[in-house]
Structure 1
Amino acid sequence: MTASTDYLVRRLRLRHLELLVALADAGTMRAAATRLHLSQPALSKMLGEVEAGFGARLFERSPQGLAANALGQAAVYRARVIFGELSRGQEEVEALRTGATGVLRPGTLSVTASVPRAIARLRRQHPGARVQVQEGRVRDMVQRLLDGELDGVFGAITPELLTSELLPLLRPELLLEDELCVLCAQDHPMARKRRLAWADLQRSDWVAPPKDTLVRQALMTAFLNGRLEPPVPSIEVLSSVTIGAVLRLDASLVGAVRAEHAQDEVARGGLRRLAVGPAIPLPSLGFYTRRSAGPPAPLVSAFATALRRFGARPQ
C-alpha cells in the first residue's frame, strides 16, 4: 500500500465516498446536502477532505452547480464500485448465514437458450447457490456490471461496446456466433417451404423489434442487400417472448428474432424457423466481466465455464 493510498484508507470514510456519488448525481451542493442530511458548510468541508486525500480537484464549480471533471469521474466510478461490492458482500453473508453456498448475479438478454442451461449446470455443481438473474438491454446491464451490481453479463459483443471508452474496464469473452432468424406458426403458408429468399417475405406481415435494436437493423439489412424496400412491421415489440406469443395466435405473421431466441421459442412448440437466405449475421454473443486486480469469484468462474460449454455447441 502506497503512502497516498494509506492516507485515503485512514482518513476517508464511506461517508466521503457517499458524498462523491451524491454530488455526481445531484449536481449541486444544496441538493447533495439535502440528500445526505448535511449542512452545506459540512458538505463543503467533507469535499475538501476528499479532494485533499486524492490530491486533486475532483469537481468544477460553476453558476449552474458542480460537475465532476475527468479525475472526479474516475473517483466517483470507483466509489460506486465500492458500494456495489459492499452490497454484494452483505447479500453473500446473508445467503451463507441462511444456508446458501453463495450468490451469483448475472445480467442477460431477456430470452436466451444458453443461460438457463448454464444455470442448471451451475446448480448441479453448487446445489446451494442462489442465482439472481437480471434481464434487459446489454448496454444497461454492462453499466450495472461496472457499478458493481452484477457479476457478469451475457449479451451481444457489439461494435458500439468494442469501440466504447468502457472497453478497458471490461473483459469480454466471445462464446457463440449469432444470426437473424425468421419464425412463423406451424400452419403459416410459408412454413413448409424448404428454401426462401428475402424477396419472398417482402410482402409478409411482420412482427419485429424496434428500429434501435440489432435484430431490426439486421432485418432491414437483409432486404437492403437485395435492393428491396424493407417492410414496415405490422406489430413492433421488443420482447421476443411476446413475438413468439403473437406468432402462435396469428398464423398470418412472420417474426424476426436472433438465433439464440429462435432456439428457445421453437422448443416451446407451435413455431417453425423458416429457411431464409442469404444468412444475415448478428454480433456474436459473449460473457462480460469487470476487469479487476483479483480473479473472479468461484461462482462467476463456474458460470462462465458452463456458458462456454453450451456456447461452444453448434446451435
Structure 2
Amino acid sequence: MSQGFDHLVRRLRLRHLELLLALADARTMRAAASRLHLSQPAISKMLAEAEDALGARLFERSPQGVLPTPAGAAAVHRARVALGELAHARDEVQAIHRGASAVLRVGAFSVTAAVPAAVVQLRQRLPGAVVHIHEGRVNELIQRLLDGDLDCVFGALTTETLTSERLSLLQSEALLEDRLCVLAASDNPLVRRRRLRWTDLREAAWVAPPRQTLVRQAFMGAFLNEGLDPPVPVIEAISSITIGAVLRLDRSLLCAVRFEHARDEVARGGVKRLSGLPEVALPPLGLFTRRGEVPATPVVQAFAREIRKAGARAG
C-alpha cells in the first residue's frame, strides 16, 4: 500500500464511513445526527475530518439539507461496500467459528434449476460451505452486490443492465441461453400436439407474470409478431408455487415461463412443456460479480465453476 493510503487509514475511522452513509440516506445534518446518536456540531466536525482526509468536498450544504457532490457520491459508494464487506467478514468468521469452511451469499431470481444444482455440487466439493440464497429482482440484487451485501448474482444479462453506468463496476459472464416456454398440465390435449403456432393458443386461458417482467414482455411479443393482440391472462402470478398449483388443478390453463422455470416445473411432475412452437428468445442468464483489484474468494470461484457446469449440462 502507498504512503498516502497509510496516512488515510490512520485518519479515517469506521465512524466516518457510517457518517457518509447516514448523510447520504437522511439528507439532513439533524437526521444524520439523530441516526448516529450524536450532536449536530459533532456531525459537522466528523464531516470536516472526512473531507480533509479524502482531500475533497463531499457534501454541499444548503437550508434544505445536504447533497453529495460527485466526489461524495463515489465516497459514499465505497463506504457502503467497505461496511458491507466488514459485516460479511463478521458473519463469515462467526460461521467458521461454528464449524463452517466458507460462507457464500448468492442472489438469484426465484425459480432456477441451475442455482440449486450448483449449490449441491459446491457443497459436495466443500462440505463445510454455508450458502445463503437471496431471491429477488435482478436489478435490486445487483445493487446489493455492488453495496457488498452479496458475493455474486445469477440473473438475466439484459440490455438495460449491460448499458447501465453500473456495468463498469461489474464482471459478467453469460452462461445459459434462455427462451420462452409454455407449460400445461400433463393431461391437457395440447401437450400431445407436435406442431403448434402462437395463433393456436390465442383463445387459451393463460397464466402469466406481471407486465414489467421479461417473460411477460416476450409472451406479448410472441403474439404481436404474428399480428395478434396478446391474450389477457386470467391469472397473473410470479410465484412458482402458485403457478405449479393452478396448472395441476386446472387442466385448461397454459402458463408462459422461462426455460429455467420450465425445467424445474417439469421435473416435479404433472406438468409438461408444449412442443413445436416458434422459439422466442429471452436475454441469456449469467453470473455477476464485483469488478475490482481483489480476486474473488475461493468459494465464489468454486460456485462460478459449478454454475458453468450446470449451464453446460442444460445446454
Higher mean displacement: 239-248 or 45-54: 239-248
Which residue number in structure 2 is paired with residue 302 of structure 1? 302
- The size of the alignment, in residue pairs, is 315
Higher mean displacement: 245-254 or 296-305: 245-254
Q: Deviations over 1:135-186 (max 9, x none)?
A: 1111111111111111100110110100000000000011010000000101
How far apart are the structure 1 equivalents of 2:162 and 2:62? 34
Q: Deviations over 1:61-80 (max 9, x none)?
A: 22321111211111001101
Higher mean displacement: 1-10 or 248-257: 1-10
Q: Deviations over 1:204-251 (max 9, x none)?
A: 111000000000000011001111100110011122332122111111
Which residue number in structure 2 is paired with residue 277 of structure 1? 277
How far apart are the structure 1 equivalents of 2:248 and 2:8? 60
Which residue number in structure 1 is paired with residue 225 of structure 2? 225
> Does structure 1 residue 101 correspond to structure 2 residue 101?
yes
How far apart are the structure 2 equivalents of 1:62 and 1:238? 44
Which residue number in structure 2 is paired with residue 252 of structure 1? 252
How far apart are the structure 2 equivalents of 1:241 and 1:3? 56
How far apart are the structure 1 equivalents of 2:301 and 2:314? 22
Which residue number in structure 1 is paired with residue 135 of structure 2? 135
Preserved CA contact (<8 Å) 2:59 2:67: yes
> How do residues 126-205 of structure 1 correspond to structure 2 at under 5 angstroms?
126-205=126-205
Q: What is the root-mean-square deviation of aligned Cα atoms in Å?
A: 1.0
Amino acid at match of 1:40: Q
How far apart are the structure 2 equivalents of 1:239 and 1:143? 22
Which residue number in structure 2 is paired with residue 41 of structure 1? 41
TM-score normalised over the length of structure 2:
0.98
Preserved CA contact (<8 Å) 2:180 2:281: yes
Preserved CA contact (<8 Å) 1:111 1:241: no
- CA positional deviation for 1:3: 4.1
> Does structure 1 residue 239 correspond to structure 2 residue 239?
yes
TM-score normalised over the length of structure 1:
0.98
Preserved CA contact (<8 Å) 2:191 2:275: no
How far apart are the structure 2 equivalents of 1:61 and 1:164? 29
- CA positional deviation for 1:273: 0.2
Q: Deviations over 1:64-98 (max 9, x none)?
A: 21111211111001101111111111111111111
Which residue number in structure 1 is paired with residue 119 of structure 2? 119
Preserved CA contact (<8 Å) 1:155 1:285: yes
- CA positional deviation for 1:290: 0.4
Which residue number in structure 1 is paired with residue 83 of structure 2? 83
Higher mean displacement: 1-10 or 153-162: 1-10
Q: 1:288 to 1:109 in 2, by over 3 A?
A: same
Amino acid at match of 1:167: L
Which residue number in structure 2 is paired with residue 8 of structure 1? 8
Structure 1 residues not aligned, in runs of 5+: none
How far apart are the structure 2 equivalents of 1:254 and 1:282? 19
How far apart are the structure 2 equivalents of 1:62 and 1:199? 60
Secondary structure of residue in 2 paired with 1:218? helix
- CA positional deviation for 1:276: 4.5
How far apart are the structure 2 equivalents of 1:242 and 1:142? 26
- CA positional deviation for 1:277: 2.3
Structure 2 residues not aligned, in runs of 5+: none
How far apart are the structure 2 equivalents of 1:245 and 1:167? 38
Amino acid at match of 2:142: V
Which residue number in structure 2 is paired with residue 209 of structure 1? 209
Preserved CA contact (<8 Å) 1:198 1:276: no
How far apart are the structure 2 equivalents of 1:9 and 1:276? 63
- CA positional deviation for 1:199: 0.4
Amino acid at match of 2:46: M
Amino acid at match of 1:147: D
How far apart are the structure 2 equivalents of 1:84 and 1:156? 24
Which residue number in structure 2 is paired with residue 288 of structure 1? 288
Preserved CA contact (<8 Å) 2:175 2:308: yes
